[in-house]
Amino acid sequence: MEIINRKLDLHEFEDYLSSYYFGAQPANKLVIHHTWRPTKEQWQGQISINGLKSYYEGKGWSAGPHIFVAEDGIWLFSPMRKDGIHAGALNHLSIGIEIVGDYDNEKWEGKTKYNALGTIKALMFYLHLENKDILFHRDASPKSCPGWAITKEWLFAELASFRKLPRIPSISPAIEEISAPIPEEEVMVPIWATDAVSFVLKHRLFEIRNQDDIRDAVKFYRLYNLIQNEPE
Ligand SMILES: [Zn+2]
């Protein structure tokens, strides 16, 4: 079985879709699943993908689902321009999306939820799909898949309010941010250093932020006085 075997974040997935060829007859629906096992806790990224691949190969399948959505990213599995094997009668012209975890008793959360909603929304956009084109495995199977806690009413409401996080800029932060001054803490100035510190602050020679700065101020002030008092 050939799999794409790439893990993308949501922005990378959208970039991938923007130039993806979905075939002469692109998929016209999404079928949502949950893996049930492995659970979110059992998921081990590449190790799990390899395990699933050999599991499907053991069944003699030529393909599996198209996408696994997990806490660690969006995993590309079988190519989306070909029918996968994941939902029996619904396999033809559908994209099979497996959400990693067991959702019979809890809804998607955290990065899994973000990646799942983002994946579905992006595919709807690029395949020109509507809510009615989003199917659950259980629509054509006695299984609970994608989990009893996941309902279409909930999913459609979540999709409607979903917002992508901004892309993290790849440019380095501005110099000002790197050299931003350390927030001033209260510095205890000993009596014997008050004149020196006052002098340094009055003339804005340097900031007094810690005991080292106080010592520098005293040295500077002594030197200054020494020079001032030098006979001509
Ligand atoms: Zn399923």
Say which CATH number the domain at 74 has.
Answer: 3.40.80.10
Q: How many residues does the chain have?
A: 232
36 C-alpha to center of ligand 1: Å? Answer: 9
Residue 170's pLDDT is 54
Q: Is the pLDDT of residue 84 over 50?
A: yes
C-alpha atoms less than 13 angstroms from C-alpha of 125 in its C-beta half-sphere: 14
Q: How much is the pTM?
A: 0.73
198 C-alpha to center of ligand 1: Å? Answer: 74
Residue 5's pLDDT is 97
Percent over 70 (pLDDT), the chain: 90
145 C-alpha to center of ligand 1: Å? Answer: 5
Q: Does residue 133 share a domain with residue 199?
A: no
- The answer to the question of residue 74 being in a domain is yes
Is residue 198 very low, low, confident or very high in pLDDT (cuts 50, 70, 90)?
confident
Q: Does residue 188 share a domain with residue 157?
A: no
- The answer to the question of residue 178 being in a domain is no
pLDDT digits (tens, 9 = 90+) for 92-132: 999 999 999 999 999 999 999 999 999 999 999 999 999 99
Q: Does residue 188 share a domain with residue 154?
A: no
- The answer to the question of residue 173 being in a domain is no
Is residue 49 very low, low, confident or very high in pLDDT (cuts 50, 70, 90)?
very high
Q: Does residue 75 share a domain with residue 136?
A: yes
Give the structural domain span for 90. Answer: 6-161
Residue 176's pLDDT is 47
Q: Does residue 202 share a domain with residue 154?
A: no
- The answer to the question of residue 67 being in a domain is yes
CB burial of residue 174 (10 Å; 0-12, 13-18, 19+):
exposed
Q: Does residue 214 share a domain with residue 140?
A: no
Q: Does residue 141 share a domain with residue 31?
A: yes
Q: Does residue 217 share a domain with residue 127?
A: no
- The answer to the question of residue 176 being in a domain is no
**How many domains in the chain?**
2
Average pLDDT score, the chain = 90
- The answer to the question of residue 167 being in a domain is no
33 C-alpha to center of ligand 1: Å? Answer: 4
Residue 24's pLDDT is 94
Q: Does residue 127 share a domain with residue 86?
A: yes
147 C-alpha to center of ligand 1: Å? Answer: 9
Residue 169's pLDDT is 58
- The answer to the question of residue 168 being in a domain is no
Longest CA span, the chain: 103
Closest Cα to residue 34, out of 84, 102, 91?
102
CB-based neighbours (< 5 A) of ligand 1, an ion: 33, 137, 145
**What string of H, E and C letters represents the secondary structure of the chain?**
CCCCCEEECHHHHHHHHHCCCCCCCCCCEEEEEECCCCCCCCCCCHHHHHHHHHHHHHCCCCCCCCEEEECCEEEECCCCCCCCCCCHHHCCCEEEEEECCCCCCCCCCHHHHHHHHHHHHHHHHHHCCCHHHEEEHHHHCCCCCCCCCCCHHHHHHHHHHCCCCCCCCCCCCCHHHHCCCCCCCCCCCCHHHHHHHHHHHHCCCCCCCCHHHHHHHHHHHHHHHHHHCCCC
Residue 205's pLDDT is 85
pLDDT digits (tens, 9 = 90+) for 140-195: 999 999 999 999 999 999 999 999 888 765 555 454 454 555 445 567 888 888 88
- The answer to the question of residue 1 being in a domain is no
Q: Does residue 188 share a domain with residue 143?
A: no
Give 232 or 150, the one with higher predicted confidence.
Answer: 150
Residue 207's pLDDT is 84
Q: Does residue 190 share a domain with residue 83?
A: no
